[in-house]
Structure 1
Amino acid sequence: MHEPSGLRERKKEATRQRLMRAAFDLFEEHGFDDVSCGRIAAAAEVSKKTLFNYFSLKADLILDAERHHVHDLADVVRAREPGQTPHGALHAQLLAALAQRLPATGLSDRPEALRLRRLIRANPMLAERERQFQDQRQRLLAEALIEENSPELTARLIATQVHGIRQVLFAENTRRVLAGEAADDVYPDAVAAAECAFRLLAEGLGDRLRRG
């Protein structure tokens, strides 16, 4: 007798979460390089084959959220309200994400978010995998801008600027919360920095975004 699809999906998600927790614990204790996929699978009580059914790379065991969010900036451009510029939509999205203290802004002081940032800092291979996802996010944003009739080079330049701004702001917010500041205390400065960054972008090459 076949299991209902809802039950199968819940079991799959439970297995995914078990693998991610096992990887996190082992990476923290032993370092990313010294932990094999087989060891993670054993800790999660599944086969190595099962692990690779869920995650193609070892780093993705704890960077799964990054993989699922590479389309976010491009989606903001495509799904913006009628009459709203790409620049305005990306600006508004960042402010909303800061208000929600989303980990993608660096302004989350939830224990699991801080734990992830520390682990990435301590393991270059994880940092490199995260950078690959960031590069993909930037490329997809450029593609969305090209769809807005921006010349390819212009779209790539704008995407680089927008993504670069977000990374600088992310790094500063992360630095402060990892140093022990509360996200709520950092929030006003984070908003002011975001407003300044997008104003500078609008005054420079970013005014091309208004053509969307």
Structure 2
Amino acid sequence: MDGEPGLRERKKRRTHAAISEAAITLFLEHGFNQVSVAQVAEAAEVSKRTLFAYFPAKEDLVVHRLADHETEMARVVRARPPRTAPLTALREHFLDGLRERDPITGLNDAPQVRKLHRMILDTPSLVARMERFKSGAERALAQALRETADVPELTARLAAVQIVAVHWALAQDNAERLAYGEPADERYAGAVADAEHAFALLRNGLRLLARQR
């Protein structure tokens, strides 16, 4: 049927999923640095060459789980309703994510999600790899702002850097609290308050820092 993937594409997707599942299972059980790429390949029943064809670096075995979120803020800006400000749409989207316990907000305490977040936070190479993810999100958001909000290139780029940084900081705060035992339901009210404060700062610029004391 038109629109459905062919046999070759379905096989590639199954292989990709099998490698990913094997990697995450091993990493969460033994630790990221304690598991080799060869062990992941063996568990997934593929060669190392096949594994690297799907995941060029060991860190990609983890970060790919977040790949769809790299352009998420850009998609929110592009899909916002008419006469809705980009920042308003992004704020509402983040608050919706908190309510729905979206893992990308850091507010999800499912055991596997919590262990995954803790592993990322405790592994310098994964933290560094996430910085590349962050840079990609900034570029995508800046382009969306330029194309839909009619703002200059520098304005879009600086705005994107600030917005992504705020999302990142909020999610990391939530993830750190949950990774070390705080339940999501107990954190929710504080996470919402922090998000509202953060978006208010974005909306008002850095006026607080411009005041003389």
What TM-score do the two structures reach when normalised by structure 1?
0.85
Alpha-carbon distance change, 16 to 161 in structure 1, aligned in 2, over 3 angstroms: same
Map 1:82-101 to 2 at 5 A: 82-101=82-101
What is the CA distance between 1:205 and its match in structure 2? 6.6
Q: Which residue of 2 aligns with 1:182?
A: 183
CA contact (8 A) 2:138 2:164 kept: yes
Alpha-carbon distance change, 191 to 59 in structure 1, aligned in 2, over 3 angstroms: same
Alpha-carbon distance change, 30 to 179 in structure 1, aligned in 2, over 3 angstroms: closer
- Distance, in Å, in 2 between the alignment partners of 1:176 and 1:30 is 22
1:56 lines up with 2:29 in the alignment: no
Map 1:42-191 to 2 at 5 A: 42-147=42-147, 148-191=149-192
SS at match of 1:93: helix
- Distance, in Å, in 2 between the alignment partners of 1:100 and 1:160 is 25
- Distance, in Å, in 1 between the alignment partners of 2:6 and 2:92 is 36
Q: Which residue of 1 aligns with 2:193?
A: 192
Amino acid paired to 2:150: N
- Distance, in Å, in 2 between the alignment partners of 1:205 and 1:71 is 26
- Distance, in Å, in 1 between the alignment partners of 2:187 and 2:30 is 32
What is the CA distance between 1:36 and its match in structure 2? 3.3
Q: Give the gaps of 5 or more residues in structure 2.
A: 208-213
CA contact (8 A) 2:69 2:104 kept: no
Amino acid paired to 1:177: L
Equivalent residue pairs, number:
203
What is the CA distance between 1:202 and its match in structure 2? 1.1
> Percent identity over the alignment?
46
Deviates more, 1:98-107 or 1:26-35: 26-35
Amino acid paired to 1:57: A
Alpha-carbon distance change, 187 to 34 in structure 1, aligned in 2, over 3 angstroms: closer
- Distance, in Å, in 1 between the alignment partners of 2:56 and 2:179 is 30
Alpha-carbon distance change, 77 to 141 in structure 1, aligned in 2, over 3 angstroms: same
Amino acid paired to 1:154: T
Runs (4 or more) in structure 1 with deviation over 6 Å come to: none
What is the CA distance between 1:116 and its match in structure 2? 0.9
- Distance, in Å, in 1 between the alignment partners of 2:166 and 2:63 is 22
What is the aligned-residue RMSD (CA, Å)? 2.2
SS at match of 1:58: coil
Amino acid paired to 1:110: A
CA contact (8 A) 1:31 1:123 kept: no
Q: Which residue of 1 aligns with 2:210?
A: none
- Distance, in Å, in 2 between the alignment partners of 1:168 and 1:69 is 15
Amino acid paired to 1:16: H
What is the CA distance between 1:24 and its match in structure 2? 2.5
